Amino acid sequence: MKGRIYYFTGTGNSMRAARVIAGSLENTEIVSMRTDPRDYPATDCDVVGFIYPVYHWTMPAPAVKFVEDLDINPKAYIFAVAMPSFICGYACEKLAEILKKKNTSIDYGNMVYSVANYAIVYPPFPPAKLRVPKTERKLGIIAREIAGFTKREYPRENRFIKKKRERVMTPYLELQKYADNPFTISEECISCGLCSRVCPCKNIKLMDGIPTFMHHCANCMACVVSCPKRAIGYEITGGDRKLLDASGSKTFLVKIMGLPKKRKLYMNPYITATDLTKDSEQWQKEAKQEKK
Ligand SMILES: Cc1cc2nc3c(=O)[nH]c(=O)nc-3n(C[C@H](O)[C@H](O)[C@H](O)COP(=O)(O)O)c2cc1C
Ligand code: SF4
Ligand code: SF4
């Protein structure tokens, strides 16, 4: 058997889930969706998994693009695990939609409520010490179900959320092209380049030692939480606010965005910034080596 789990992550929840589930399967590798899908096709895989956070009540745009460009064995056992904090919305249906175009479907779908990590909008909640143990328990159950090749209907969006998503979130998604305009780099930056190495969208380049944002940001928070100097801020100043308003936004979300220096940040406790820099892992092999 050959398995491969593709994950998109900003703050490690989805990577942790990928590792736990891979640990329950034989010969299974985990691969970040920041790689080129042509380098890691799933054409020879018997088990294929997709694990990702929920952004704006749907699947993150870079994960959508990755799966669209991925070649998959249509006969594989395919599973999907979304990692929302509270609202899963259309996240699983979106994946099902993409897979349908590839003449395949989700055999097992589930979601795991995780710590909300959107630091430029709110402090992490619920507190990690309360939610992470629950998340871990549910991941254990899901890992056993997937190892037994269980079939499960994926979570569907309810009508109330669908209506709200179309009205509130769709215009907000239009603003994503401006998502990294408000990032600031303070004088505390030591030009270590970690922010660039953890970014799942390859959106940060060091120019003369200064991190520079390339305008294809998913707002995943990886750079913000990984910076050892906490040098990355987020400030919607006059110019950016005008731009956002001009694009018809004026959404509640945009109004409250910012990153006060004292705001608490969240990173999954089982994952480090170094882990986020990895593109792929033969997880079982590494786990065995760790045990020795
Ligand atoms: C840009 C952004 C948008 C988000 N939107 C949602 C959402 O619509 N619904 C939800 O339940 N959680 C939302 N979250 C929270 C994340 O989905 C959640 O914290 C997830 O577990 C993070 O996974 P990761 O650690 O693998 O990046 C959002 C987070 C970010 C950064
Ligand atoms: S991680 Fe922080 S200190 Fe390092 S280059 Fe990026 S902003 Fe500067
Ligand atoms: S620039 Fe930062 S927030 Fe944007 S995608 Fe990269 S790591 Fe995530």
pLDDT averaged over 10-residue windows placed end to end, the chain, 292 residues: 97 98 95 97 98 97 98 98 97 98 98 98 97 98 98 96 87 86 97 98 97 97 98 92 80 88 96 96 66 55
Q: What angle do CA 154, 157, 159 make, to 5 degrees?
A: 145
Q: How far apart are CA 43 and CA 134, in angstroms?
A: 34
Choose one of 184, 186, 195, 261 to mutate for the ligand 2 pocket test, by most ligand atoms within 8 angstroms of C-beta.
195
One domain, residues 228 and 142: no
The number of distinct structural domains making up the chain is: 2
Q: What's the domain range around 94?
A: 3-160+272-291
Residue 135, ligand 1, Cβ within 6 A = no
Whether residue 50 lies inside any domain: the answer is: yes
Residue 223, ligand 3, Cβ within 6 A = yes
Cβ neighbours around 64 below 10 Å, total: 18
- CA atoms within 13 Å, Cβ hemisphere of 18: 32
The residue assigned the tokens 């999954």 is 268
Q: How far apart are CA 280 and CA 292, in angstroms?
A: 21
Whether residue 100 lies inside any domain: the answer is: yes
One domain, residues 93 and 220: no
Q: At what angle do helices 13-23 and 283-291 cross, to 10 degrees?
A: 80
Backbone angles phi, psi at 110, to 5 degrees: -155, 170
One domain, residues 67 and 156: yes
Whether residue 261 lies inside any domain: the answer is: no
Q: How many helices (H) and strands (E) does the chain have?
A: 12, 10
pLDDT tens digits along 81-94: 999 999 999 999 99
One domain, residues 26 and 125: yes
Q: What is the pTM of this model?
A: 0.96
pLDDT of residue 279: 94
Whether residue 45 lies inside any domain: the answer is: yes
pLDDT of residue 123: 97
Q: How far apart are CA 260 and CA 1, in angstroms?
A: 49
One domain, residues 60 and 147: yes
pLDDT of residue 283: 72
Closest ligand to the CA of 193? 2
pLDDT tens digits along 33-67: 999 999 999 999 999 999 999 999 999 999 999 99
One domain, residues 137 and 282: yes
β-strands 3-7, 232-234: how paired? unpaired
Task: Give the chain's length.
Answer: 292
Burial bucket for residue 267 (CB in 10 Å: 0-12, 13-18, 19+)? buried
The residue assigned the tokens 């909008």 is 121
Q: How far apart are CA 18 and CA 30, in angstroms?
A: 7
pLDDT of residue 172: 82
Partners of residue 116 on adjacent β-strands: 125
